[in-house]
Structure 1
């Protein structure tokens, strides 16, 4: 006798974070939804024995349902491709997406199923990212995920809707904007997306190395891809105008350096003075709401010098890669 088809399939992409995956799976196995009503699909974007062992151990500890299934992902790189593997292997019509670094509340799935009961194509749950009392700029920026309209750390989508838009665009090889791309694809198809405030996942902040915001600028090139795919919705919901401050900072820096090298000392020093003023404004704007600690101040000072030109550099890289002037 074949096993009953679950009501909902949970897709969890993971990449070399077995400790976080273990915590996530433990929370998923404590859901209030009936055990035979859901399955868990672990999509390992960096196939490892550790992740496979965790999935198999979770399956062995559970009497009956939910079944925990493990899939190594080797054809693509990035969470977009991993999620495609997951929902395509899912046995349910309803697909729940979360990440390996979240802790879903016990009633998460039950609330998600209820939100989808009216026949809508998708629902977006609530992401809670607790901030420390003295949050750094990096932590405050990361916590903005909790304000996102549609983030794959906590969304529910019908399998038929995913199939109709082609799932996730696998050109997003990092965890950035792939969820917005799916969101916009669903909206452009005319599908209904509702909030599911009772479906809550906790997303604890992770520690980051010094000036981590510098390396994260590489993700900006995926803004170009999102703009190329959905220019109208990008302007309406992401960025209405180009990044003028970054452009001005970078332009005055280049003008100053080039002028000094060309022997135009007065013009060069004037341009560098404008660059310094704009950079300080950027620095103080970021510092105003974040922790006034030596580490955070130093991190903000270093990253404020680097971020504007580096961000524009990655936009140019994105424009070259995806064949479009950057937004």
Structure 2
């Protein structure tokens, strides 16, 4: 967070022309102390630190921030991002007092020469249409769409939900290439890709709200390869219980082949170290089951059919 704050403190825009609002997702004494110590040594003119009453996710934290803001133009970034020195100035150059305005900038994800699967997935932010790690909206536009939907309790799809609301209201999202933010990859524990599947429940919520836009911009069709892997494994288990040896052998062979292809796809562009290979092998056997579980969890929770 401190690196992000340093980047904001030394923007090329005059310090008196903008304010920085840091919002903690729920009370966090250590973060509050770190921010206070940092602010005591920095020249920012307009700065505030607040926290939401309880932990509700990034959507609620961002709503807390933009509602408090006094400026007509609101820029968002994440605590692990590093905005370029001219970041705010680049957005401001494209603002001419419009009431209904939304902009998105360029995201750079620095990768190692041999990235992990998690690094590679994070790097896909570089091609995303709209991410809250680097976006800017007029306050009036946020008021019109109601800000972020706080039902999205994790950092997943809440940015797309805002984008879809803007599109629905006829507010064009303009890409400002000169507004750049570097997004370093956070350190991740072994097996992080398995934990990431929990976010899939929010696909169902986004699909329920915007089915056409979801299929057009997020997921054109169901994750059939995951369903095939799970189905082959289920058929193999049932056939084995029923003593249908040939069917069981064929089903398990198909399952193993499908998982092998999945492993190969994940490893072909990523690190080939023994530790990473073992992680990809183990998690590739489990991810299809976890993914479908969380997707159907979301479908049941939000009462929508999303295959």
Asked whether the equivalents of residues 56 and 68 of structure 1 are also in contact (C-alpha less than 8 Å), the reply is no
Aligned ranges 1:116-127 → 2 under 5 Å = 116-117=95-96, 119=98, 121-127=101-107
1:209 is the counterpart of 2:209: no
1:74 is the counterpart of 2:53: yes
Aligned equivalents of 1:105, 1:178: Cα separation in 2 = 24
Q: Find the partner of 1:313 among 293, 296, 302.
A: 293
Aligned ranges 1:129-278 → 2 under 5 Å = 129-278=109-258
CA displacement at 1:59 relative to structure 2: 3.9
TM (norm. structure 2) is 0.96
CA displacement at 1:76 relative to structure 2: 5.1
Aligned twin of 2:79? 100
Which segment is superposed worse, 177-186 or 294-303? Answer: 294-303
Aligned equivalents of 2:37, 2:133: Cα separation in 1 = 23
CA displacement at 1:223 relative to structure 2: 0.8
Asked whether the equivalents of residues 129 and 203 of structure 1 are also in contact (C-alpha less than 8 Å), the reply is yes
Asked whether the equivalents of residues 55 and 68 of structure 1 are also in contact (C-alpha less than 8 Å), the reply is no
1:289 is the counterpart of 2:269: yes
Aligned twin of 1:42? 22
Deviation string, structure 1 residues 128-180 (Cα, Å, up to 9, x no partner):
11110111222111111121110000000111111111111111111001000
Deviation string, structure 1 residues 103-146 (Cα, Å, up to 9, x no partner):
11111111011123373510001111111011122211111112
Aligned equivalents of 1:121, 1:284: Cα separation in 2 = 43
Aligned twin of 1:3? none
CA displacement at 1:22 relative to structure 2: 1.4
Q: Which runs of 5+ in 1 are unaligned?
A: 1-20
Asked whether the equivalents of residues 25 and 54 of structure 2 are also in contact (C-alpha less than 8 Å), the reply is no
CA displacement at 1:50 relative to structure 2: 2.4
Aligned ranges 1:53-64 → 2 under 5 Å = 53-63=33-43
Aligned equivalents of 1:234, 1:284: Cα separation in 2 = 28
Aligned length: 306
Q: SS of the counterpart of 2:19? A: strand
Asked whether the equivalents of residues 26 and 54 of structure 2 are also in contact (C-alpha less than 8 Å), the reply is no
Q: SS of the counterpart of 1:61? A: coil
CA displacement at 1:259 relative to structure 2: 1.9
TM (norm. structure 1) is 0.90
Aligned equivalents of 1:82, 1:76: Cα separation in 2 = 9
Q: Which runs of 5+ in 2 are unaligned?
A: none
Q: Which ranges of 4 or more aligned residues in structure 1 deviate by more than 4 Å?
A: none
Which segment is superposed worse, 307-316 or 253-262? Answer: 253-262
Asked whether the equivalents of residues 177 and 223 of structure 1 are also in contact (C-alpha less than 8 Å), the reply is yes
Q: SS of the counterpart of 1:201? A: strand
Aligned equivalents of 1:140, 1:117: Cα separation in 2 = 37
Deviation string, structure 1 residues 192-243 (Cα, Å, up to 9, x no partner):
1101111111111122111210110001111111111111111111111111
Aligned equivalents of 2:242, 2:137: Cα separation in 1 = 58
Q: SS of the counterpart of 2:306? A: coil
Q: Root-mean-square deviation (CA), in Å?
A: 1.4
